[in-house]
Amino acid sequence: GADVSMEACCADGHRMATEHRACSLPYASESKEC
């Protein structure tokens, strides 16, 4: 997927979830904790 910083992932978490988009893999497990 696209490179997404953990901060951006946290900030847009709801939108990404709605669009069924995962955050970049290196942050995937951490972002779920946001």
pLDDT at 7: 72
CB 34 within 8 A of CB 13: yes
pLDDT for residue 19: 61
H helices within the chain, ranges in order? 6-11, 13-18, 25-31
Task: Give the tokens for residue 26.
Answer: 């290196």
Burial of residue 23, with CB atoms counted within 10 A of its CB: 0-12 exposed, 13-18 middle, 19 or more buried: buried
pTM: 0.23
Domain extent listing, the chain = 1-34
The tokens describing 18, both together, are: 């709605």
The tens digit of pLDDT for each residue in 1-34 reads 566 666 776 676 666 666 656 665 555 555 555 5
- Res 16: pLDDT: 61
